[in-house]
Amino acid sequence: MIRTEFIADVKKLVREWKSAGLSIGLVPTMGYLHEGHASLIKKAREENDRVIVSDFVNPIQFGVGEDLESYPRDFEADCNLCESLGVDLIFHPSPEEMYLPGFHSHVGVDTLSTNLCGKSRPIHFNGVCTVVTKLFNISEADRAYFGQKDAQQLCIVKRMVRDLNMNISIIGCPIIREDDGLAKSSRNTYLNAEERQAALILHKALTKGEELVKSGETDASKVKQAITDIINSEPLAKIDYVEIVDASELQAVETINGEILCAIAVYIGKTRLIDNFFA
Catalytic site residues? 37
Interaction residues for ligand AMP, span 95-114 (CB under 6 A): none
Q: Which of 124, 149, 203, 272 binds ligand AMP (CB under 6 A)?
A: 149
When asked if residue 203 is in the footprint of ligand AMP (CB under 6 A), the reply is no
Stretch that binds ligand AMP, among 91-99, 147-155, 161-169, 235-243 (CB under 6 A): 147-155
Interaction residues for ligand AMP, span 7-46 (CB under 6 A): 29-30, 36-37, 39-40
Q: Which of 3, 18, 158, 184 binds ligand AMP (CB under 6 A)?
A: 184
Stretch that binds ligand AMP, among 45-53, 93-101, 160-168, 178-186 (CB under 6 A): 178-186
When asked if residue 132 is in the footprint of ligand AMP (CB under 6 A), the reply is no
Number of Cβ within a 10 Å radius of residue 251: 12
When asked if residue 183 is in the footprint of ligand AMP (CB under 6 A), the reply is yes
Stretch that binds ligand AMP, among 95-103, 183-191, 217-225, 258-266 (CB under 6 A): 183-191
Give whichever of 29 and 115 is closer to ligand AMP, judged by the CB atom: 29
Taking the complex as a whole, the smallest distance from the CB of residue 28 to ligand AMP amounts, in Å, to 6
Q: Return all residues near 44 (Cβ < 8 A) that are at least 6 apart.
A: 25, 26, 27, 51, 143, 145, 171
When asked if residue 117 is in the footprint of ligand AMP (CB under 6 A), the reply is no
When asked if residue 150 is in the footprint of ligand AMP (CB under 6 A), the reply is yes
Closest to 111 in 3D by CA, of 252, 272, 255: 252
Give whichever of 36 and 118 is closer to ligand AMP, judged by the CB atom: 36
Q: Return all residues near 80 (Cβ < 8 A) that are at least 6 apart.
A: none
Q: For residues 138 and 11, give the distance between their C-alpha atoms in angstroms, rounded to a whole number.
A: 6
User: Residue 265: beta bridge partners?
Assistant: 241, 274
Extract long-range pairs of 246-252: CB within 8 Å, 24+ residues apart.
Answer: 247/155, 247/278, 248/155, 249/111, 249/112, 250/111, 250/112, 250/115, 250/116, 250/152, 250/155, 251/111, 251/115, 252/115, 252/220
Q: Which residues bind ligand AMP (CB under 6 A)?
A: 29-30, 36-37, 39-40, 146-147, 149-150, 173, 175-176, 183-186
